[in-house]
Amino acid sequence: MRLILGFSLAILAILFGAQLIRRPLKFSLIRLSSLLSPIVIAAILVYWSASQYFLWLNSDSPARFLLPPHQDIGYFFYYVFFRFWATYLISLIIAILFFIAAKFLNKKYQERFFYEEEPYLLAASIFLVGHPGWIFYLLFLLIAALILSLVIGHRLSRRVSLYYLWIPVAILSIIVSRWLSALPIVKYLSI
What is the spatial distance between Cα 125 and Cα 170, in angstroms, rounded to a whole number? 6
pLDDT on residue 176: 87
pLDDT on residue 69: 80
Phi and psi at residue 180, to the nearest 5°: -70, -15
CB count in 10 Å sphere of residue 34 = 24
Instruction: Name the domain count of the chain.
Output: 1
Greatest CA separation found in the chain?
Answer: 70
What is the pTM for the complete model shown? 0.88
pLDDT on residue 44: 94
Cβ atoms 131, 173 nearer than 8 A: no
Residue type present at position 63: A
What is the spatial distance between Cα 151 and Cα 145, in angstroms, rounded to a whole number? 10
pLDDT on residue 66: 79
pLDDT on residue 189: 66
* Structural domain boundaries, residue 120: 1-189
Point out the residues of the chain with pLDDT beneath 70. Answer: 1, 153-159, 182, 185-191
